[in-house]
Amino acid sequence: MKKLASRQGRSTKVLIALVVAALLTLSLPACSQPQAEAVPAADAPATVEEVPGTDLHRVTLTERAVERLGLKTGTASSGPQGKLTVPYGAILYDSQGRTWSTRIRSSACMSASR
Protein backbone atom coordinates (compact mmCIF):
# COMPACT_ATOMS: atom_id res chain seq x y z
CA MET A 1 0.00 0.00 0.00
CA LYS A 2 2.90 2.35 0.77
CA LYS A 3 4.36 1.78 -2.71
CA LEU A 4 1.04 2.72 -4.35
CA ALA A 5 0.78 5.94 -2.31
CA SER A 6 4.40 6.74 -3.14
CA ARG A 7 3.77 6.27 -6.87
CA GLN A 8 0.66 8.44 -6.73
CA GLY A 9 2.64 11.15 -4.92
CA ARG A 10 5.35 11.04 -7.60
CA SER A 11 2.74 11.07 -10.37
CA THR A 12 1.13 14.13 -8.82
CA LYS A 13 4.50 15.88 -8.56
CA VAL A 14 5.33 15.03 -12.19
CA LEU A 15 1.91 16.28 -13.30
CA ILE A 16 2.37 19.53 -11.36
CA ALA A 17 5.86 19.99 -12.84
CA LEU A 18 4.49 19.47 -16.37
CA VAL A 19 1.66 21.96 -15.80
CA VAL A 20 4.10 24.56 -14.41
CA ALA A 21 6.47 24.00 -17.37
CA ALA A 22 3.59 24.39 -19.83
CA LEU A 23 2.41 27.61 -18.15
CA LEU A 24 5.92 29.05 -18.18
CA THR A 25 6.34 28.17 -21.84
CA LEU A 26 3.03 29.80 -22.73
CA SER A 27 3.78 32.93 -20.69
CA LEU A 28 7.23 33.61 -22.23
CA PRO A 29 5.88 35.43 -25.31
CA ALA A 30 4.10 37.84 -22.95
CA CYS A 31 7.51 38.78 -21.48
CA SER A 32 9.06 39.75 -24.81
CA GLN A 33 9.55 43.37 -25.77
CA PRO A 34 6.90 44.83 -28.07
CA GLN A 35 8.01 45.28 -31.65
CA ALA A 36 8.97 48.84 -32.51
CA GLU A 37 6.50 50.31 -34.93
CA ALA A 38 7.74 52.01 -38.06
CA VAL A 39 7.62 55.80 -37.92
CA PRO A 40 4.87 57.05 -40.22
CA ALA A 41 6.29 58.91 -43.22
CA ALA A 42 4.63 62.16 -42.14
CA ASP A 43 6.48 62.02 -38.80
CA ALA A 44 9.81 60.74 -40.15
CA PRO A 45 12.78 62.91 -39.10
CA ALA A 46 14.37 62.59 -42.55
CA THR A 47 13.63 61.70 -46.15
CA VAL A 48 16.08 59.90 -48.42
CA GLU A 49 15.99 60.30 -52.21
CA GLU A 50 18.28 59.02 -54.95
CA VAL A 51 20.28 61.65 -56.83
CA PRO A 52 19.60 60.95 -60.53
CA GLY A 53 22.63 59.88 -62.55
CA THR A 54 24.76 59.07 -59.49
CA ASP A 55 25.03 56.43 -56.80
CA LEU A 56 24.45 59.13 -54.17
CA HIS A 57 21.42 59.77 -52.00
CA ARG A 58 19.99 63.05 -50.72
CA VAL A 59 18.96 63.13 -47.06
CA THR A 60 16.65 65.96 -46.01
CA LEU A 61 16.16 66.48 -42.27
CA THR A 62 13.30 68.11 -40.43
CA GLU A 63 14.13 71.12 -38.29
CA ARG A 64 13.59 68.99 -35.18
CA ALA A 65 16.09 66.40 -36.48
CA VAL A 66 18.66 69.15 -37.10
CA GLU A 67 18.19 70.33 -33.50
CA ARG A 68 18.44 66.81 -32.06
CA LEU A 69 21.65 66.09 -33.99
CA GLY A 70 23.15 69.43 -33.04
CA LEU A 71 24.04 70.33 -36.62
CA LYS A 72 25.54 73.77 -37.09
CA THR A 73 26.59 75.69 -40.16
CA GLY A 74 29.84 77.53 -40.77
CA THR A 75 31.21 79.72 -43.54
CA ALA A 76 33.62 78.66 -46.27
CA SER A 77 36.23 81.28 -47.11
CA SER A 78 39.38 81.83 -49.13
CA GLY A 79 42.58 81.05 -47.29
CA PRO A 80 45.83 83.05 -47.48
CA GLN A 81 46.86 81.35 -50.74
CA GLY A 82 43.44 81.78 -52.35
CA LYS A 83 42.38 78.20 -51.60
CA LEU A 84 38.93 77.46 -50.28
CA THR A 85 38.87 76.66 -46.57
CA VAL A 86 35.95 75.09 -44.74
CA PRO A 87 35.28 74.40 -41.06
CA TYR A 88 36.78 71.12 -39.86
CA GLY A 89 33.32 69.76 -38.99
CA ALA A 90 32.27 70.08 -42.64
CA ILE A 91 34.82 67.46 -43.77
CA LEU A 92 33.72 63.85 -44.15
CA TYR A 93 35.79 60.76 -44.97
CA ASP A 94 34.31 57.82 -46.87
CA SER A 95 35.31 54.16 -46.50
CA GLN A 96 38.10 54.55 -49.10
CA GLY A 97 39.60 57.52 -47.22
CA ARG A 98 38.46 60.11 -49.78
CA THR A 99 37.49 63.50 -48.38
CA TRP A 100 34.17 65.20 -48.93
CA SER A 101 32.98 68.58 -47.74
CA THR A 102 29.41 69.54 -47.09
CA ARG A 103 27.60 72.63 -48.23
CA ILE A 104 24.22 74.08 -47.44
CA ARG A 105 21.85 74.29 -50.41
CA SER A 106 18.87 75.59 -48.43
CA SER A 107 17.79 75.76 -44.81
CA ALA A 108 16.92 72.04 -44.84
CA CYS A 109 19.24 70.65 -47.52
CA MET A 110 22.97 69.95 -47.32
CA SER A 111 25.04 68.24 -50.02
CA ALA A 112 28.49 66.69 -50.10
CA SER A 113 31.08 67.11 -52.83
CA ARG A 114 34.71 66.12 -53.31
Query: Each residue of 39-79: pLDDT tens digit?
Result: 566 688 888 888 899 888 888 888 898 889 888 777 778 88
- pLDDT value, residue 72: 77
> pTM for the full model?
0.43
Would residue 53 count as lying in a domain? Answer: yes
Helix (H, G, I), strand (E, B), or coil: what is residue 74? Answer: coil
Phi/psi at 50 (5° precision): -75, 145
Would residue 66 count as lying in a domain? Answer: yes
Q: Residues 25, 45: one domain?
A: no
Would residue 35 count as lying in a domain? Answer: no
Would residue 71 count as lying in a domain? Answer: yes
Query: Each residue of 10-29: pLDDT tens digit?
Result: 677 777 877 767 666 666 66
The number of domains in the chain is 2
Would residue 63 count as lying in a domain? Answer: yes
Residue 25: domain span: 1-30
Closest CA to 110 of 55, 70, 61: 61
Angle at 98 between CA 97 and CA 100, to 5 degrees: 130
